[in-house]
Structure 1
Amino acid sequence: MSAGNTQAPERIGPYRLVRKIGEGGMGVVHLGLDEDGREVAIKVLHPHVAADLKARDRLIREVETMRRVRSPFVASVLDAELVGREPYVVTRFAPGRTLEDIVLSDGPLGAREVIRLAQGLCQALVAIHAADVIHRDLKPSNVMMVNGEPLVIDFGIAHLVNATRLTQTGMFVGTPGYLAPEIIRDAEITQKADVHALASTVFFAAAGVPPFGTGAFEVICYNIMEGRPQLDKAPVWLRGWLARALAVDPDERPTAQELLRMARALDPRVTTFNEVPPPNRSTPSGTKVLPSKQTYSDLLPPVEYGRPAPEPPRTRRQPEVKPPPYVPAPMSARPVAPPPRPDQRVAGYPAPPYTPPAYTPPRQRKKYVVGSQLVGGLLLAALVGLTVMMPVVMSVVGITLALVLRMGEYLFGDLVKRRQARGGASAADPLLVVVGTPWALVKSFLITLVHVPLALLFGLCVYGVARWGGGFDTNQAIAYAAGGLVAGLFVLPGGGAPRKAVARTLTSVLRTPGAALVAALVAGTAAVIVVMFALGQEPTWEPWRAPSTVLKELTDNARDSATGLVTGMIDDLMRSLGLGFLSPWGP
């Protein structure tokens, strides 16, 4: 992952992006600020990763699992948005340098720092494996060093698109020098693969070079599969620990918990080790390695022993000369260690007592104080209040609004579902909207035609309650009935499509809790004002006349039949609206 200062987009979700800080095969990492002004690391997935449905499903499951990992040595997942057009994962931000950058710039770490690194990584791996997760991409560039302590980053992202297999282009996703043999062989992958990667990372920190060499991709993979780490380049006291963890067979490697116990027993003053392979194991040169014996040879650097040549016949047995016992040199005779660099101590230089920093669990992203549902309810209350004030006009507006919202949900709701299914927009989306508009209009009109009578019945129930239960006069009761009609268009069965359209629109506009709170305050204030006016003044019946006047005239002039009364009311209403030429009951 390479650092940079490329200009980043201004926002993504509720986070403000400050600058680009890195980029890898799976996405771009930005430094961002959350709603409380705290720094976070935001990884935005590349489009080809976001478009992979299996990758999204796996990411959703593993992000939920990662929320259970609580360790000061793991960059915890704070938030994630996985269903939008730009999926992203938010983790704890670590203000430090990667282990890879430190080693390449300043050289290998000192003995005490290597032990501290090994123990911290083992504790991180124990927490990760306890959550039943496999990291699969543990390497020096994914380990941040913060105040001398390791912090595992890039969690649960590196293996989204089947990173342990060959991709469609035939290339591995990951760094070859830190992959376990079973990953390269495309065999079953277990948590022991992380143990192998952890040991490779510690090897790099201690030796300054990758454990399986550098060069061609095929050469590195061959060395990994054959189990040929360059243990002679690692410190003597560390070789036995590395040899156990770098075993080719996963069953021969220790678990993370066992590796942690071994790491706590590491001591640079103890120079004995047991990294010699068992007898009859072939070495790269084809020679055989002799088994280790309890002699002074264990104190020497590892060498390759060739097959011993036949000895010439001897006439008499030569006495065996035993070497003198090993006596460590006195402290006064040992060379004085140079002063440590700012971020590194050499072997033998005593480190001050280490006190682990207090770990504070990351705060989860706050829930919205108010949401789109509350704002939508307040807007509906304002619309009902306006209908009580202007029953005729607002009833027509309410029916038209329900028709338009239902049509929009049929068009754009299906479009959003298709985008979520395929992981992004398509060039054919505008054409699908144009082609689907006529059918959406017809479907919306037919359903609205059926739904309006249901809402009208609800309005009649409101009229009865207001007229005979509340003691209101005819005009006021009919005004409340009109309000019930408009409310029924959205709250009764069959009003789901308009409600979804309103909720989808508000959710896309109100992206932050602050915006939702402001919208709720504005909509609530408007609703209170409208309702107060509706309760305190007579309704306006323009462009029609007051129902009490119309009913009186029709009662005086209509025929002695209920049919004549109803048809007369309809004829009078159509004439008031300028549609008298359509009335079949006119002169």
Structure 2
Amino acid sequence: MSDTQAQSRLGPYRLVRKIGEGGMGVVHLGIDVEGREVAIKVLHPHVAADLKARDRLTREVETMRRVRSPYVAEVVDAELVGGQPYVVTRFAPGRTLEDIVLGSGPLEPRQLIKLVNGLCQALVAIHAAEVVHRDFKPSNVMLVADEPLVIDFGIAHLVNATRLTQTGMFVGTPGYLAPEIIRDSEITQAADVHALASTVFFAAVGAPPFGTGTFEAVCFNIMEGRAQLDKAPAWLRGWLSRALQVDPARRPSAHELLRTARQLDPTVTTFHESTFQSTTPNGTKRLPVSETYSDLLPPVSYAKAAPPPPVVDKPPPYVPAPVQARPSVPPPRADQRVAGYPAPHQPQARPYTPPAPPAERRRYLVGSQVIGMLLLVTLVALTVMMPVVVGAIAVAVALVLRVGEYLFGDLVSRRQIRGSSAADPLLAVVGTPWALVKATAVTALHVPLSILFGVCVWGVLRWGGGMSINEAAAYAAGAFTLGLFVLPGGGAPRKAVTRTLTGVLRSPGAALIGIVIVGTAALFAVLFAMSQDPTWAPWKAPETVIRQLTRSAQDSVFGVLTGLVNDLLHSTGLGFLSPWS
């Protein structure tokens, strides 16, 4: 069992189960700190030790971030420098095109039209970002609600980027490679057009366009342009023939491919052979579909060809062949490696399980949220016991948590957009002054709101509950501390606590232990707060302060009045009557 399978967390993500495996790594279903489902691709240990493989993973992240399309899975996060490099992408609750076709047969014309248009739009977005995917194939296309989603840029590269493959070696799945990749010549975006057409052929027919068999035989058919187009629906053959040209210059661009894809009509069953070129760029004769390849093959005995099926307005439904009549050659693997380490053994894929409802997914946040609530209860109880000291500490804690959330919350948001970077520590240092200024300003506005909340609680308890001045003031101080975190504007400190606890609590057992410990402390704090008299040091008790202020006010008023009377008597010549003379 791998380290990733044995552990329950990877960075800030909780691993749920393995959902796929290929030559590059293992894909897990994970849960992020917000309770959302994500797909986490982790390199195999032997691949992670290869610097070129890590470089390829870095390139995957950089290329996927440049592509923006609803038909392409976007990158959410990445960690490329740790002991276990991984990439986090949006989780697609669906099945791969390969699984669907191998399990249920070729797609119906309506589904096929939707697939072709979606893939072409994805290719337009990919090429607009100056990216070459290089690995279009059925296993890298998910179908989510009948809409295609292109995944796995594991061997993609930027246009004009340095190639990482060695001379005479290439990476990819042979049945869906373009001829120029096999020849190790210049690779352009036209290679993706060829691979996309091969993927569409598989969806329409249920088999690769250049047949199955040995690696050499498949590669020979690709380089000679021997696509089995006669097996494809008649209305699709002309579109496929243009995209599967041997010469990359003769293939349409992604925009042209999309334009012609929107003109496809399954009701048109006439196949125009003029769409084929009579010769290839190297002078090789290009055979129309109606001819055979018998003159190019060694002399063997062929069985009499069966008459072609009659042309109908609608293709007949797919009927699977009997088990005993199916060929013994296994279907191509989902991720076949040509160079480098051999792919690990791939167990039988698990059946697709629909994603859990949101209420169930959020169970992973319950532990940290409960502990955060218990910590707040403890802080409020301590404030009731020591209103002045703990109240000041609560203001400082809220300020520190708000600074941390402004600083590291923004850092997490940046990582979700562009992944981790060596400049992140520098950005954190540079952003600290601004986060401190922002947090101080917000706290300065939030503290008066909490004070007003505490005064309202004091009035209710003093005049409505009949409490003494000191007792009502102690509970009002607790309400002030509570307001720092629950009133509008207190979301940042709460998020900071939840984020910190989620990173600390690595398992459900740890969360349970934390709940027991913090819950016990909160219980004792509440009991002490209800049974002990509050300590007002370093200030005096509110009742004493109010009595002193009242006496001072009375003395001041009496002095003013007596002075006025004394001056009046003296001004009228009756000063001898004044008792204060």
Give the aligned partner of residue 541 of structure 1: 536
Give the aligned partner of residue 230 of structure 2: 240
Q: What are the Cα deviations for residues 552-580 of structure 1, in whole angstroms up to 9, with x where unaligned? A: 45655776359x9xxxxxxxxxxxxxxxx
* 1:195 aligns with one of 200, 208, 216: 200
Contact 2:451 2:480 in 1 (8 A): yes
SS of the aligned residue for 1:303 comes to: helix
Give the aligned partner of residue 106 of structure 2: 122
Alpha carbons of structure 1 residues 474 and 505: separation in structure 2 relative to 1, 3 Å: same
Contact 1:392 1:541 in 2 (8 A): yes
Alpha carbons of structure 1 residues 504 and 31: separation in structure 2 relative to 1, 3 Å: closer
What one-letter code is carried by the residue in structure 2 that aligns with 1:386? Answer: L
Give the aligned partner of residue 338 of structure 2: none
> Superposed, which structure 2 residues align to 1:512-531 within 5 Å?
519=514, 523-524=518-519, 526-531=521-526
Contact 2:453 2:483 in 1 (8 A): yes
What's the CA shift for 1:433?
Answer: 3.4
Give the aligned partner of residue 503 of structure 2: 508
SS of the aligned residue for 1:87 comes to: strand
Partner Cα distance (1:50, 1:187) in 2:
19
What one-letter code is carried by the residue in structure 1 that aligns with 2:295? Answer: V
What's the CA shift for 1:469?
Answer: 1.0
SS of the aligned residue for 1:503 comes to: helix
Alpha carbons of structure 1 residues 193 and 55: separation in structure 2 relative to 1, 3 Å: farther
What's the CA shift for 1:383?
Answer: 1.5
Give the aligned partner of residue 401 of structure 2: 405
* 2:213 aligns with one of 207, 211, 217: 207
Partner Cα distance (1:200, 1:169) in 2:
36
Partner Cα distance (1:125, 1:44) in 2:
37
Partner Cα distance (1:207, 1:176) in 2:
11
Contact 2:138 2:199 in 1 (8 A): no
How many correspondences in the alignment?
A: 430
What one-letter code is carried by the residue in structure 2 that aligns with 1:194? Answer: T
What's the CA shift for 1:484?
Answer: 1.7
Contact 2:174 2:219 in 1 (8 A): no
> Superposed, which structure 2 residues align to 1:90-105 within 5 Å?
none
What's the CA shift for 1:482?
Answer: 0.6
SS of the aligned residue for 1:202 comes to: coil
Q: What are the Cα deviations for residues 532-556 of structure 1, in whole angstroms up to 9, with x where unaligned? A: 4433443233444433345445655
> Superposed, which structure 2 residues align to 1:432-581 within 5 Å?
432-510=427-505, 519=514, 523-524=518-519, 526-552=521-547, 555=550, 560-561=555-556
* 1:367 aligns with one of 361, 364, 374: 361
Partner Cα distance (1:508, 1:119) in 2:
41
Whether 2:41 is the aligned partner of 1:43: answer yes
Alpha carbons of structure 1 residues 121 and 327: separation in structure 2 relative to 1, 3 Å: closer
What's the CA shift for 1:472?
Answer: 0.8
Partner Cα distance (2:58, 2:289) in 1:
55
SS of the aligned residue for 1:367 comes to: helix
What one-letter code is carried by the residue in structure 2 that aligns with 1:195? Answer: V
> Superposed, which structure 2 residues align to 1:369-408 within 5 Å?
369=363, 370-371=365-366, 372-408=368-404
Whether 2:420 is the aligned partner of 1:424: answer yes
What's the CA shift for 1:470?
Answer: 1.1
Partner Cα distance (1:123, 1:91) in 2:
20
What's the CA shift for 1:399?
Answer: 1.4
* 1:82 aligns with one of 67, 76, 80: 76
Q: Which has the higher contact order (CA 8 A, sep 6+)?
A: 2
Alpha carbons of structure 1 residues 53 and 542: separation in structure 2 relative to 1, 3 Å: farther
* 1:178 aligns with one of 171, 176, 179: 176
**Scaled by the length of structure 2, what TM-score is found?**
0.55
What one-letter code is carried by the residue in structure 1 that aligns with 2:486? Answer: V
Contact 1:405 1:497 in 2 (8 A): yes
* 2:65 aligns with one of 54, 64, 67: 54
Gap regions ≥5 residues in structure 2 = 33-37, 44-56, 80-85, 124-134, 142-147, 165-169, 180-186, 244-256, 298-302, 307-322, 331-347, 560-581
Alpha carbons of structure 1 residues 362 and 56: separation in structure 2 relative to 1, 3 Å: farther
* 2:150 aligns with one of 135, 156, 159: 156
Alpha carbons of structure 1 residues 183 and 189: separation in structure 2 relative to 1, 3 Å: farther
Alpha carbons of structure 1 residues 524 and 442: separation in structure 2 relative to 1, 3 Å: same
Give the aligned partner of residue 410 of structure 2: 414
Partner Cα distance (1:500, 1:388) in 2:
25
What's the CA shift for 1:525?
Answer: 5.1
SS of the aligned residue for 2:26 comes to: strand
Contact 1:390 1:541 in 2 (8 A): yes
What one-letter code is carried by the residue in structure 2 that aligns with 1:178? Answer: Y
Contact 1:52 1:161 in 2 (8 A): no
**Scaled by the length of structure 1, what TM-score is found?**
0.54
Partner Cα distance (2:202, 2:505) in 1:
44
Partner Cα distance (2:197, 2:304) in 1:
38
Contact 1:140 1:201 in 2 (8 A): no
Give the aligned partner of residue 328 of structure 2: 345
Q: CA RMSD in A?
A: 5.9
* 1:29 aligns with one of 1, 21, 26: 26
Q: What are the Cα deviations for residues 336-367 of structure 1, in whole angstroms up to 9, with x where unaligned? A: xxxx99x97389xxxxxxxxx99964142541
Partner Cα distance (2:216, 2:489) in 1:
65
Whether 2:17 is the aligned partner of 1:14: answer no
Contact 2:229 2:241 in 1 (8 A): no
SS of the aligned residue for 2:151 comes to: coil
Partner Cα distance (1:83, 1:170) in 2:
25
Percent of residue pairs identical: 38
SS of the aligned residue for 2:41 comes to: strand
What one-letter code is carried by the residue in structure 2 that aligns with 1:404? Answer: V
Q: What are the Cα deviations for residues 263-306 of structure 1, in whole angstroms up to 9, with x where unaligned? A: xxxxxxxxxxx99999993478958789999xxxx8x862269x
SS of the aligned residue for 1:453 comes to: helix
Q: What are the Cα deviations for residues 19-42 of structure 1, in whole angstroms up to 9, with x where unaligned? A: 996444xxx32579999xxxx995
What's the CA shift for 1:459?
Answer: 1.4
Partner Cα distance (1:398, 1:458) in 2:
15
Alpha carbons of structure 1 residues 19 and 185: separation in structure 2 relative to 1, 3 Å: closer
Partner Cα distance (2:443, 2:305) in 1:
98
Partner Cα distance (1:180, 1:375) in 2:
56
> Superposed, which structure 2 residues align to 1:175-324 within 5 Å?
175=173, 178-179=176-177, 185=190, 192=197, 194-196=199-201, 202=208, 206-209=212-215, 213-214=219-220, 223=223, 228-230=224-226, 240-241=230-231, 247-249=240-242, 281-282=278-279, 302-303=294-295
Alpha carbons of structure 1 residues 484 and 290: separation in structure 2 relative to 1, 3 Å: closer
What one-letter code is carried by the residue in structure 2 that aligns with 1:387? Answer: T
Alpha carbons of structure 1 residues 191 and 243: separation in structure 2 relative to 1, 3 Å: same
